Amino acid sequence: MAQLRALIAEDETILSLTLIKHLEKLWPELRICGVVENGVAAVQEALAQLPDILFLDIKMPGKTGLEVAQELAEEWTDDKPFPLIVFVTAYDDYAIDAFEHAASDYVLKPVSEERLSKTVKRLQTRLDDGQERSGELERVVAQLRNLMPGVGTLGYANQAGVNQAGVASGDAKTTEKLTIIRAAVGNQTRMIRIDDVLYFEATDKYINVVTAEHSSLIRVSLRELLPQLDSNQFWQIHRSTVVNSQCIHSAHRDESGKLSLKLIDRDEKLAVSRVYAHLFRQM
């Protein structure tokens, strides 16, 4: 059996060194194949290294541990079992939530050798169970759905205020849903009816708002936008895509099993990730 490898994603150097020290003592056969300090690097390194175990800090720069887990669930290769995930966090409530819904286990900061010893035993038991490990990706995907059952339920704060794009953000709370989006286009402000939006596509710092007539960029994040959309009308189908369900023509699965959507009177296909594929099961 090949040597088991673990990747650590932790932005506090002292904590990652402590974790390594305890693991070397408790599990000397385990090889630490890398240590990264932010969520973006965690995704890149995990996809490059394909580790067996992933220690994920819940709150990291770039992406949270849950966001990393979601992106890996979408991008992971079919040729390698999905890694067992251990969330590392300073927040007990958050950790328990993660443990119940999406993690193989969790450990609280500062990491104690005693608690990590229990985690190591759990991981070893699960790794010895080949059948269970083969279904790890499906298990994590199913459990991530419990955290992300639909638009606006990602557990992010419901924030309000108005930014330059005309989309609520800031410190005040709101429960109102968007009816109009204001997008700056040169010297004009384009008023976009929410019912005219075909889909939203997130880029690095912007969201592309696509209608039948045009595309417009607004400076807002998807996590700010999602709580302000009607979840019955707008469905998140990928970590970066939210589609108007009334504009969907059909869903297609290709030979490799990947799902995509065709919209009414449109040529482009929108990819559906594993996390949201359940939205298109037959009734």
Query: Could you read off the pLDDT of 53-99 as tens digits, one per residue?
Result: 999 998 899 988 888 988 898 888 888 888 999 988 887 666 566 55
pTM: 0.67
- pLDDT-derived band at 223 (thresholds 50, 70, 90) equals confident
CB atoms within 10 A of CB 110: 12
| CA 263 to centroid of chain Cα atoms | 24
Alpha carbons 133 and 208: distance in angstroms, whole number: 38
**Is 56 within 8 Å of 65 (Cβ atoms)?**
yes
What percentage of the chain reaches a pLDDT higher than 90? Answer: 46
40 pLDDT exceeds 90? Answer: yes
156 pLDDT exceeds 50? Answer: no
- pLDDT-derived band at 145 (thresholds 50, 70, 90) equals low
Residue position matching structure tokens 């949270």: 64
User: What number is the average pLDDT over the span 171-197?
Assistant: 83
Alpha carbons 42 and 65: distance in angstroms, whole number: 9
132 pLDDT exceeds 80? Answer: no
Local structure of 260: helix, strand or coil: strand
Average pLDDT score over the chain: 83
Local structure of 134: helix, strand or coil: helix
Comparing 34-38, 67-71, 81-85, 133-137, which segment has the lowest mean pLDDT? 133-137
Which residues touch 118 (CB under 8 Å, ≥6 apart)?
none
Comparing 5-14, 136-145, 177-186, which segment has the lowest mean pLDDT? 136-145
**Is 178 within 8 Å of 220 (Cβ atoms)?**
no
Alpha carbons 138 and 246: distance in angstroms, whole number: 28
User: What number is the average pLDDT over the span 166-175?
Assistant: 50
